[in-house]
């Protein structure tokens, strides 16, 4: 269909017979009942809509019921119906592009629609949306664009609209296919549309196709899927070279809807179309050729079934064929259906009257294709089986299994006699046996699936050894199974599986009966048992009667267990002790002792007995500081340290209570020792002598107060004496250079003095000095200190408990100004003196500047009263740095910021003049505008003017009059056309009926009426029919579309020159032109109803057209 008319989503319906037969595709052919021998050809039509957005909107059940009957009566077996015209009604969509579903009314309408189709034997294939959804002339276009641009929103479209539609009707035999979108290419190509990339559109089509295929019918088949392409330009791989050029082997655009193109954007195996349904109109031929002369193979689109989804209702124009001939050409070229536009005259391009007779003839001629009635082919699949079924020889077998309905089992694939019960395979002989199984659905037994049963031979299983199977405890014997390729092993002892024992050999170290299970190809055999005997070892222990830990110089007797026939070998630290073969051994040195006891050639070694010989500990005292110090000091006496040592300290040979640590803080004079014990062994250190000297006195006195204001001080004096030295500190930090007996303290803090005599120091009690800080003195403002005359600024001093204030201007105290704020209204330099605790501070000066207001006046050099169309220049006073804002009737005039303003309309004008941010508004200047008169051109001087040619002025222009009404503006003898028209004298002409001086004339529908015709003139153009006057009609070659139109109207009139004249609703001519073969007109016309008259080769036709 032509670009500007393909605005809608489609429903494609197929009538196969009077009863529902399922339509599928086999080997790229449309067939019914799954029968490859029963093809169908779609002798179709387009019924785009009855009422725009029928479903969920203004649905008319009576229309659809009647129209389906009309289609059936004309032998038509397929039609296309628009479900959602532009998305403004259904489905429901949010502004962000999320589709939320459809209304209950929508489902009720579609249910009724399918019932009407069933009543007339019509199958339905539904197209779900169109490029109109995203066109910017409709209300919800942005929501639909948002949907296409977001994969998650596309999924909501599938989940909440497309899939529910498929699942509701997929089992209905009258739903044949889903057409994903009508001419979606215009979303990318049309200037008034989304102009998105093809990748966005391909992803949408692919996701929709996958969603449909993911929801199959119960028999595993899914609803067929297509996409109605606007032209083969986007649906084929071959086309012309240039306009009307030679045939090419390459279409640079390529097939946008091929399997590869769709999967590239949504990589799912079922994201493909089942067949192609491109559209064709005459404009397409010059660029891409036409299907009446080109086959699907020529276009490079024969990998799928192909039908023509839209084609002209009458003669296709290019080539010039009757409808019947065009249908036969398509069929003969390998297309499997055609769908003329339209069957219900939604515009001037269609109507059942244009092709119904040819459609009926085609249906009669090819009735076997158009209305096939074929038996349902048996398509029962073979049941699902698991094969092969494998058993080991002599294993227990179970009955064979398969997944299917009414299963039958056979010995081969040809015999007709089935097993009476499900067979159970025999496993007594190794080898392979085949069984066959079928299932029956709807009384039809399908093909058989083979099940192979394989019985595998068992492997050998033996155990051999190379050493004796009887040995002492602690020994072992290697048990070896037979080996071979692919064998696996499981060892058991006393019939219990040994964890992890899966090698071909096993080191048996404990007594028992051993077997090995050998497995090959999942079949296992267990060996004969191999018995292993393990002789017990003698006991071997060591006991003592005294402790094995003792001090250097001691010993312990180690005794082994005794018994008849036992022999002994003693070892120390794993080394045999020469000659130590008795049952006892006296150990005097530290070490790890064992004894090996032998009986009947089997030996056991005892657990080790560890002998520990503790050395005597060291005992010393060390110090890190002097042992002579001042009273109040101490020295840390440190004994030698080590693991397990304990301590006892003594002073003057008397034990110090509680002094048991490795160190002792000696603070009093005396002679100190420490006793060190380790492992119950003790040693006493040499004595360490400690001496303690007395401390000097340390005090601070003052003669003045220790609390004062910032800037003062107090003299701190320490006690004096012979040989004393001093160090002063403030807040516990030494004051550099302060070593005299006095110190002048000028800052607040806690002062101490350390007095030293004979290297002994004492620190005085702290003397606290308090310095009261000067208060802060600052001035802040919240508004500017520079302002216009008449204003002021609030000067604010810092605040706080107990503060007092004195304000000054230009260093002079301001009487009474003692608050924390001061309202400064005059220019000057302001300060504030802030006092706290008798301490005062003066702030930095704050300078206040007061600017004068500018003048504001309006003057003019011409009158302020003038005629409409004139103006007066309003001028404000000027000066350096001035800015302006003009107002009319107290409303700011946008953009009027110059010093002058051209006032052209009446009102009260003011100007606000600003300088240094100070503004003044002028007195108002009133402008008065006198209304102008409309004057009409009087070319013929008869005193009445032409209403179509006017001037507006306050005074009369030359050649114009104030009275209209001259219908013949160039004829001085006529004010009205009369019977003969302007410029022709009455009595010298004939009317449209050929009567001299007759009264007949063409009405607004261009019909000759009145006078002697007996026809009443029509005065309302809306009453005109689509073809209101046909004189030797051009209808066979004439095509106007779209109608109604929005931007331009396209006209095809066949080969040759033709003329058009367009009249408005009042009968006035508004457009005239001559064209060759085709024309694109009407861009400049206002929206409304018009008559268009087309003349060519003596033939004339008039039609009604509508511009939206």
269 CB-contact burial (10 Å; exposed 0-12 / middle 13-18 / buried 19+): exposed
Whole-structure pTM over 0.95, yes or no? no
What does CATH list as the number for 700-772?
2.60.40.10
Do 848 and 830 touch, CB atoms closer than 8 A? yes
| CATH number, domain 1020-1107, options 3.90.1150.10, 2.160.20.60, 3.10.580.10, 2.60.40.3080 | 2.60.40.3080
Q: Which of 489, 501, 499, 426 is nearest to 459 (CA)?
A: 489
What is the three-class DSSP state of 883?
strand
Do 809 and 828 touch, CB atoms closer than 8 A? yes
Whether a cis peptide bond, with omega within 30° of 0, leads into 91 is yes
Cα atoms in the Cβ-side hemisphere of radius 13 Å centred on 652 = 4
What does CATH list as the number for 542-614?
2.60.40.10
- If phi > 0 it is left, if psi is from -120 to 50 it is alpha, else beta; for residue 146 that is alpha
Do 758 and 693 touch, CB atoms closer than 8 A? yes
For the chain, give every domain's residue range.
11-370, 389-456, 463-535, 542-614, 638-692, 700-772, 779-801+812-851, 858-930, 1020-1107
Same fold: 700-772 with 858-930 = yes
Sign of the dihedral through C-alpha 163, 168, 170, 171: positive
The number of beta carbons lying within 10 Å of the beta carbon of residue 404 is 19
Do 455 and 427 touch, CB atoms closer than 8 A? yes
Q: How far apart are CA 81 and CA 309, in angstroms?
A: 12
Q: Which of 1073, 1070, 1071, 1061 is nearest to 1103 (CA)?
A: 1061
Q: How far apart are CA 113 and CA 124, in angstroms?
A: 10
Q: How many residues does the chain have?
A: 1108
Rounded to the nearest angstrom, the gap between the alpha carbon of residue 80 and the centroid of all alpha carbons in its chain is 35
Rounded to the nearest angstrom, the gap between the alpha carbon of residue 258 and the centroid of all alpha carbons in its chain is 27
Domain 463-535 has CATH 3.10.20.30: no
Bridge partners (DSSP) of residue 873 are 902
> Which homologous superfamily does the CATH classification assign to the domain defined by 858-930?
Immunoglobulins (2.60.40.10)
Q: How far apart are CA 1049 and CA 1104, in angstroms?
A: 12
The number of beta carbons lying within 10 Å of the beta carbon of residue 786 is 16
Do 358 and 331 touch, CB atoms closer than 8 A? no
Q: Which of 601, 538, 614, 613 is nearest to 572 (CA)?
A: 613
CA angle, residues 524, 525, 531, in degrees to nearest 5: 135
Cα atoms in the Cβ-side hemisphere of radius 13 Å centred on 305 = 25
What is the three-class DSSP state of 518?
strand
Q: How far apart are CA 134 and CA 86, in angstroms?
A: 8
Per-residue confidence (pLDDT) for residue 14, from 0 to 100: 34
Q: What φ, ψ does residue 832 adopt, rounded to 5°? A: -135, 135
Q: What φ, ψ does residue 129 adopt, rounded to 5°? A: -155, 180
Q: Which of 176, 191, 184 is nearest to 221 (CA)?
A: 176
Per-residue confidence (pLDDT) for residue 16, from 0 to 100: 31
Q: How far apart are CA 256 and CA 193, in angstroms?
A: 19
Divide the 1108 residues of the chain into consecutive groups of 10 and give the mean pLDDT of each group. Answer: 32 36 89 86 90 93 93 91 91 97 96 90 86 93 96 97 95 88 93 92 97 89 93 88 75 90 96 96 85 93 94 88 95 95 86 94 95 74 91 92 92 86 93 91 79 92 93 91 94 96 94 94 92 90 92 89 93 95 93 92 90 88 91 91 93 95 93 90 90 89 90 92 94 95 94 92 92 91 90 93 94 95 94 90 93 92 89 93 95 94 94 91 92 85 84 85 82 71 67 67 65 73 51 68 87 88 78 87 86 86 86
Q: How far apart are CA 769 and CA 762, in angstroms?
A: 21
1062-1079, pLDDT tens digit by residue?
A: 888 766 778 888 888 888
11-370 belongs to which CATH class? alpha beta
């Amino acid at each position: 269909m032509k670009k500007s008319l393909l605005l809608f989503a489609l429903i494609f319906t197929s009538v196969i017979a009077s009863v529902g037969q399922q339509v599928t595709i086999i080997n790229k052919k449309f067939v019914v009942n799954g029968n490859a021998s029963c093809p169908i050809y779609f002798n179709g039509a387009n019924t785009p809509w009855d009422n725009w957005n029928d479903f969920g909107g203004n649905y008319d059940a009576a229309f659809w019921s009647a129209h389906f009957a009309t289609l059936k009566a004309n032998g038509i077996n397929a039609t296309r119906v628009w479900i959602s015209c532009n998305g403004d009604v259904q489905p429901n969509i949010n502004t962000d592009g999320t589709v939320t579903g459809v209304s209950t009314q929508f489902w009720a309408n579609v249910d009724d629609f399918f019932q009407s189709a069933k009543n007339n034997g019509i199958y339905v294939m539904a197209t779900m949306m169109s490029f109109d959804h995203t066109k910017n002339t409709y209300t919800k276009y942005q929501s639909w664009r948002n949907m296409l641009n977001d994969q998650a929103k596309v999924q909501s479209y599938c989940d909440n609209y497309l899939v529910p539609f498929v699942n509701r009707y997929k089992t209905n035999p009258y739903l044949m296919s889903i057409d994903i979108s009508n001419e979606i290419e215009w979303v990318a190509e049309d200037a008034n549309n989304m102009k998105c990339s093809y990748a966005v559109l391909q992803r949408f089509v692919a996701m929709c196709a996958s969603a449909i295929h993911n929801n199959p019918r119960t028999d595993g088949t899914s609803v067929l899927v297509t996409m109605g392409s606007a032209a083969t330009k986007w649906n084929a791989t071959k086309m012309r070279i240039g306009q009307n050029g030679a045939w090419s082997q390459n279409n640079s655009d390529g097939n946008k809807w091929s399997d590869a193109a769709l999967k590239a954007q949504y990589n799912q195996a079922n994201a493909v179309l089942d067949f192609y349904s491109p559209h064709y109109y005459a404009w397409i031929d010059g660029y891409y050729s036409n299907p009446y002369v080109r086959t699907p193979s020529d276009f490079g689109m024969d990998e799928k079934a192909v039908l023509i989804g839209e084609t002209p209702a009458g003669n296709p124009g290019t080539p010039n064929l009757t409808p019947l001939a065009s249908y036969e050409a398509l069929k003969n070229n390998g297309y499997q259906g055609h769908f003329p536009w339209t069957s219900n005259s939604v515009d001037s391009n269609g109507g059942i009257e244009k092709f119904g007779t040819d459609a009926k003839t085609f249906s009669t001629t090819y009735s076997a294709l158009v209305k096939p009635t074929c038996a349902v082919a048996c398509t029962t699949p073979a049941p699902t089986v698991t094969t092969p079924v494998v058993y080991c020889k002599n294993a227990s077998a179970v009955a064979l299994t398969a997944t299917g309905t009414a299963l039958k089992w056979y010995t081969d694939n040809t015999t007709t006699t089935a097993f009476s019960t499900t067979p159970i395979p025999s496993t007594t002989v190794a080898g392979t046996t085949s069984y066959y199984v079928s299932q029956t659905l709807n009384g039809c037994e399908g093909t058989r699936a083979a099940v192979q049963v394989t019985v595998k031979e068992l492997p050998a299983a033996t155990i051999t050894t190379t050493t004796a199977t009887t040995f002492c405890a602690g020994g072992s014997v290697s048990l070896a199974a037979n080996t071979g390729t692919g064998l696996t092993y499981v060892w058991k002892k006393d019939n219990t599986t040994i964890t992890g024992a899966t090698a071909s050999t096993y080191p048996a170290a404990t007594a028992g009966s051993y077997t090995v299970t050998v497995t090959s190809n999942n079949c296992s055999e267990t060996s004969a048992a191999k018995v292993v005997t393990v002789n017990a070892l003698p006991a071997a222990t060591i006991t003592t009667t005294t402790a094995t830990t003792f001090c250097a110089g001691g010993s312990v007797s180690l005794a082994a267990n005794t018994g008849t026939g036992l022999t002994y070998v003693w070892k120390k630290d794993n080394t045999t002790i020469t000659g130590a073969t008795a049952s006892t051994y006296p150990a005097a040195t530290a070490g790890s002792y064992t004894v090996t006891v032998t009986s009947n050639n089997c030996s056991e070694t005892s657990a080790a007995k560890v002998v520990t010989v503790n050395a005597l500990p060291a005992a010393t005292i060390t110090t890190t500081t002097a042992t002579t110090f001042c009273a109040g000091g101490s020295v840390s006496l440190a004994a030698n340290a080590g693991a397990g040592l304990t301590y006892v300290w003594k002073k003057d040979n008397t034990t110090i209570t509680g002094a048991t640590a490795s160190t002792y803080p000696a603070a009093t004079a005396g002679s100190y020792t420490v006793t060190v014990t380790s492992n119950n062994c003790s040693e006493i250190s040499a004595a360490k002598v400690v001496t303690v000297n007395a401390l000097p006195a340390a005090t601070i006195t003052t003669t003045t107060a220790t609390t004062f204001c910032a800037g003062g001080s107090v003299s701190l004096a320490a006690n004096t004496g012979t040989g004393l030295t001093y160090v002063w500190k403030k807040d516990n930090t030494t004051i550099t250079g302060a070593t005299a007996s006095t110190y002048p303290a000028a800052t607040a803090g806690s002062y101490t003095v350390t007095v030293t005599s004979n290297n002994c120091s004492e620190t005085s009690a702290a003397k606290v000095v308090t310095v009261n800080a000067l208060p802060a003195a600052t001035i802040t403002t919240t508004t500017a200190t520079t302002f216009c005359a008449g204003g002021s600024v609030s000067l604010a001093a810092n605040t706080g408990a107990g503060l007092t204030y004195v304000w000054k201007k230009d260093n002079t105290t301001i009487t009474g100004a003692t608050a924390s704020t001061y309202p400064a209204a005059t220019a000057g330099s302001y300060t504030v003196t802030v006092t706290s605790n008798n301490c005062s501070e003066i702030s930095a000066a704050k300078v206040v500047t007061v600017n004068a207001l500018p003048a504001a006046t309006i003057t003019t050099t011409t009158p302020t009263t003038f005629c409409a169309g004139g103006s007066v220049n309003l001028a404000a006073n000027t000066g350096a740095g001035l800015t302006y804002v003009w107002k009319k009737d107290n409303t700011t005039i946008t953009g009027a910021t110059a010093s002058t303003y051209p006032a052209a309309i009446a009102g009260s004008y003011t100007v606000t003049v600003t300088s240094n941010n100070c503004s003044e508004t002028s007195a108002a200047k009133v402008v008065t505008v006198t209304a102008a008169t409309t004057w009409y051109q009087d070319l013929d001087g008869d005193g009445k003017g032409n209403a179509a040619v006017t001037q507006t002025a306050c005074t009369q222009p030359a050649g114009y009059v104030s009275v209209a009404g001259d219908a013949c503006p160039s004829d001085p003898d006529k004010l009205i056309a009369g019977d003969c028209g302007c410029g022709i004298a009455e009595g010298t002409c004939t009317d449209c009926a050929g009567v001299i001086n007759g009264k007949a004339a063409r009405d607004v529908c261009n019909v000759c009426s009145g006078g002697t015709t007996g026809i009443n003139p029509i005065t309302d153009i809306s009453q005109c029919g689509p073809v209101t006057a046909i004189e030797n009609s051009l209808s066979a070659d004439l095509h106007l579309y779209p109608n109604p139109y929005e931007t331009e109207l396209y006209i095809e009139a066949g080969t040759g020159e033709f003329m058009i004249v367009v009249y408005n609703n009042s009968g006035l001519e508004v457009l005239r032109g001559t064209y060759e073969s085709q024309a694109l007109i009407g861009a400049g016309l206002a929206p409304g109803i018009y008559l268009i008259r087309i003349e060519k080769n003596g033939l004339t036709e008039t039609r009604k057209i509508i511009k939206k």
